[in-house]
Amino acid sequence: METTKTKVLIIGSGPAGYTAALYASRANLNPLIYEGEQPGGQLTQTTEIENFPGYPQGVNGTEMMGHFREQALRFGAEIKSRTISKVDFSQRPFICEDERGDKIEAEAVIISTGASARYLGLPDEEKYRGLGVSACATCDGFFYRGRNVAVVGGGDTACEEALYLAGIAKKVYLIVRRNILRASRVMQKRVRENPNIEILFNCNTEGLFGKDLLEGAHIVRFKDTPHEEKFDIEIEGFFLAIGHTPNTGIFQDFIETDAEGYIKVKGNTSHTNVEGVFAAGDCCDPRYRQAVVAAGSGCKAAMDAEKFLMLEE
């Protein structure tokens, strides 16, 4: 068991974590970043990214996160491909522990653990992930211009994604488990009035199919009732919009979160309720969830941490 001391510990990678490491490194803070279970974050599961500035021809998600990582390393960040499993923010220096039992003493901590999209749990979702299955219409919708797609969900997010896709795709199926939409009345009205959207109420997705890429979905209406009906829809894109789960469980004994688990920050800063602990990226952003926004928040967190440490000296 080892104990490492650092001025800044960054928990999590992705655009927020790597950008925080870059800025903290350039400020001579010698940050230590623990990448977590998925180095590079959710973007490593995205085949092509076309909406991040600086890549006019688009870029593979894993490749882009590799660029972020290399830039952080270039300026002196130390990166470990491990996961933080326990934290103690009750006093400074903060004590964190990884899965091997090694401890880290940190004067400041930046949390950038992201959020995980919720999936239905179908084996086919993993099979076609990046080949037609996505959890971000804003990220991947462009690839389905002029094609048939489906969105799963009945809340505001699902309706927003369906409306966004309706302006791009040929047709959008909105697959709703219940017999009503949970979205606001305004969103419901917009969806119902859009000629490119067909709402499939009382429907569940039982599976997906396709030879190499996604070609369609198996749907069941009125499941487990006398009126059960099974049918297929031809789609090339299948978008999950049933929510995200912020990866903040290990922090909730110390860090204030909202009802869904997203970390609360103070005003337009990255400060949490614990002095010296900062948050960046999707773990504190239930609204935008975009790589460029996460990167910007990583910059803010590093600058806030730098100022905090300077004032503490």
> Does the CA dihedral 280-283-59-142 come out positive or negative?
negative
Burial 295-306 (b: 16+ CB within 10 A, else e): bbbbbbbbbbbb
In sequence order, what are the residues at sequence separation of 6 or more whose Cβ sits closer than 8 angstroms to the Cβ of residue 189? none
CB 256 within 8 A of CB 266: no
Q: Which of 42, 47, 73 is nearest to 60 (CA)?
A: 47
Tell me which of 98, 124, 139, 285 is the catalytic residue.
139
Contact criterion met (CB below 8 Å) for 274 and 105: no
Q: Is 159 a catalytic residue?
A: no
Yes or no: say if 297 and 289 are a contact pair by the CB < 8 Å rule. Answer: no
Helix, strand, coil shares of the chain as percentages rounded to 5? 30, 30, 40
Q: Which of 96, 98, 124, 140 is catalytic?
A: 140
Catalytic-residue membership of 96: no
Residue in 96, 124, 136, 284 annotated catalytic: 136
Annotated active-site positions, please? 136, 139-140
